[in-house]
Homo-oligomer: A and B are copies of this chain.
Amino acid sequence: MTDAVIDLSSMRPRALLALYSQILTELIRRRIVWSRNAPAGDYAELLVAEAFGGRLAKGSEKSWDVRVGNELLQVKCRVVDPSSKRTQTFSPFRSFAFDRCVFVLVDSVSYRVTRAIQVDRDLVEGRASLSAWVAGSRLTVRNVLAMTEGVDVTEALQRAQDEVDVRGRRADRDQ
């Protein structure tokens, strides 16, 4: 496979949006993602499942994303733009019915995993702050990077990225 170099500057807005849509269709076709939302969330769940030999939750499951044996993992991904000075926050927790959470940071240009940290539920619940606006509890990227109790799983997820690039998806969906 080759990495095409494409000149986007000559394309009209709607052509850019159509190409964006075509990319999602291709990623869905290969089961790298399964929704037409921004792809980082699904992709991070896949990487966690591939890295730990887990199974992806069924679409109806709201409180966890990947099952590894009897352990239920929540996955939270944030695409990080290193040039941005704004506070970066993970999507809200609306349930803590999981065993661990894997926080995944992805570089906004290369989509390389730059950091992945696995944290026990109690710690996540204790550190998250309630937001009435979104009816959930939130953690910033800074909060998570300060959790020295977490387990660094960056290398395992980077290896999964390389494997998925070479041989595609293997992880199954939960029964």
Residues on A facing B (Cβ under 8 Å): 1-4, 6-27, 30, 32, 36-40, 43, 62, 79, 81, 94, 108-112, 132-136, 161, 164-166, 168
Contacts and interface: CB of A to CB of B under 8 A. Distances in A.
A14 to B, nearest CB: 5
Nearest to A161: B14
Contacts of A24: 20
**Chain multiplicity (copies):** 2
In the A-B complex, the 3 residue pairs with the smallest Cβ-Cβ separation, listed nearest first, are A135-B135, A17-B111, A8-B26
A94 B39 contact: no
Contacts of A9: 26
Contact of A11 (B3, B10, B25): B3
B13 A32 contact: yes
22 contacts: A1-B10, A2-B11, A4-B15, A6-B6, A8-B22, A8-B23, A11-B26, A12-B166, A13-B30, A13-B32, A16-B23, A17-B27, A17-B39, A17-B111, A20-B24, A20-B39, A21-B109, A21-B111, A37-B38, A62-B133, A133-B135, A134-B134
